Amino acid sequence: MIPVIGFQGQKVAVLGLGRSGLATARALQAGGALPLLWDDSPEARAKAEDEGFALTDLTRQSALDGVAALITSPGIPHLYPAPNRVIARALELGVPVDNDIGLFFRSWATPEWDNFEQVPKAVTVTGSNGKSTTTALIHHILQVAGRPCQMAGNIGKGVLSIDPAQDGEVVVLELSSYQTDLARALTPDVAVFTNLSPDHLDRHNGMGGYFAAKRRLFAEGGPDRCVVGVDEVEGQFLANQMGQGPGDDRVIRVSSGQKLEGFGWSVFARKGFLAEWRKGRQMASIDLREVKGLPGAHNHQNACAAYAACRSLGLAPKLIEQALHSFAGLPHRSQLVAEKDGVRYINDSKATNVDSAAKALQAFPRIRWIAGGLGKDGGIAALAPCLPAVVKAYLIGHSARDFALQIGDTPHEICETMDRAVARAAEEAQPGEVVLLAPAAASFDQYPNFEKRGEHFTALVQARLG
């Protein structure tokens, strides 16, 4: 646990008692603060009471009187589409509003660091797609290298639940736009921006607000090194803002598909090969085509971002290459769950929107595609350029028939359930093909979350293949 400093003897309100909220309450208490806890959910309140915390109804008009700060969980709106009523009251009163990320960055460093031979470092990863894979890959590479490291944030533990830093340790944090938008302290040593595509637009009042939330990690944080994906104009703009010119190697530009040879430092992937260039010279090259845990151009971009972050921490190219080959991938993200008779079965249940589904469809040449669920606004018409790789689609869930109307002449079958879709795809798949779950839809029509959907797919495949 990271005890929160700066609030000893003071009342601090905590709104939202999920994983990060309870971790925040524990860390505040460990630092000598007096946490006042509330959640609209009776179940969440009961869990807090089971831990021995007293509850305070923060919705009462006078609840924030004398409170030093209000700490809110990421899922609670603080500005758009409208502030939560407790947060709105804090804004009226001038009570500082923060989150666990802000508390972490103000509390992580301690006087004990003065005795360390090597100061600990924080690597943060944000972006629309690939955050989790990039974060986990950086952590995996550090583990292979023998560096003390921890992983937290949007993946693994809450940031305040990790252990205090060791000498030379690296903490790798995945941060969402919800987290970067509100944190009052952001001071990473290395900050990574993967890419940007439309998401959470209601929460940020459009793409401009969404990008601004991501950009805060760099503009407010002042990292020593910026790793920036430049395959969209927003990334190009961010790299331009953070550097003093194309030769400034404090910015490492990353791409999947573009050659980036004219910059101070760049890492890019083309035709399955990763290349590192620095000051006009190629420093290293890695063949990514046989890295089974990172299939497709989108994962090659993740590999480039992780490689760049680890190089900025002083790791050697050969060591990073070795670690890439032992990376198994994350569950539900281009996860190879089985291979039999020349057919691979890939679980990409995390592909809940068109952009992430497109990346999955572009990763393989001949696909038996399982798609559907609770479709999102706009449907899947934008996937048309990816459909030539689809041998046949097996459509499930609430949006199955809507999806069938949007995929044109692509062969398809309305299966409705995962059980039937897996059975039919496995029966018809030929050697060299991939049975791919990439739903392009939310899971809530049939499953509580995308993880349960992916687990069901995996269980059905493994049961069928023995």
Contact 359, 383 (CB under 8 A): no
Query: Residue 12: beta bridge partners?
Result: 35, 69
Query: Is 128 one of the annotated binding-site residues?
Result: yes
Read off the tokens for 7: 């609030």
The amino acid present at 259, given as its one-letter code, is K
Is 302 labeled as ligand-binding?
no
Reduced to 3 states (helix: H, G, I; strand: E, B; else coil), residue 141 is helix
Burial class (CB in 10 A: 0-12, 13-18, 19+), 10: middle
In DSSP terms, 83 is beta-bridged to none
Has 130 been labeled as part of a binding site?
yes
In angstroms, the CA 150 to CA 170 distance is 7
- Among residues 380, 449, 379, 461, which one has the least CA distance to residue 418? 461
Within 10 A of 293 (CB to CB), how many other CB atoms are there?
21
Of 374, 395, 379, the closest CA to residue 444 belongs to 374
131 is in an annotated binding site: yes
Say if residue 296 carries a ligand binding annotation: no
Those residues with Cβ within 8 angstroms of residue 180's Cβ, 6 or more apart along the chain or in another chain: 101, 126, 186, 213, 214, 216, 217
- For the chain, first and last CA: distance in Å? 43
**431, exposed or middle or buried, with CB in 10 Å at 0-12, 13-18, 19+?**
exposed
**Residue 132 in marked binding region:** yes
The binding site for ATP comprises 127-133
The binding site comprises 127-133
